[in-house]
Amino acid sequence: MPLRALAVERLGRGATPLDVATVGTLTQLRSLAISGNKLSDLAVVEPLINLEALVAAGNAIVDVGPAGRLANLRRLELDVNLITNLDALAPLERLTRFVIAGNAIDKAHCPVAPTAKSAVLATFCAGLRP
């Protein structure tokens, strides 16, 4: 039976960063928690097309592009990273839980309806607009 969930969270000081080389081969994963792994991007999730939940808080992520290509994603938690642009997340129509606190989101790069396919993303971005 293939692995469906994986949690590799290293939130302590001096923790060794996640070796992401093998994570991308776990294509049947439905849930991945990779918080506190000093990741600068989400390239590791690109081949995980079955992913429904991604928790990647407390990293140094700037680019969310790979997450925007995960059509099955329902839960996305990216709090406390270096994210400013959410445009790549606009196609995520199944997203029902979205956590992005602790990032400096640029309201010019935060999609609202009808561009944003997810109501939670559109509502969040609409709240940033004057």
3-state SS string for the chain: CCCCEEECCCCCCCCCCCCCCCHHHCCCCCEEECCCCCCCECHHHCCCCCCCEEECCCCCCCECHHHHHCCCCCEEECCCCCCCCCHHHCCCCCCCEEECCCCCCCHHHCCCCCCCCCHHHHHHHHHHCC
Residue 34 lies in domain: 1-130
75-126 confidence digits (pLDDT tens): 999 999 999 999 999 999 999 999 999 999 999 999 998 999 999 999 999 9
Mean pLDDT across the chain: 89
Q: How many structural domains does the chain have? A: 1
CATH of the domain at 85: 3.80.10.10
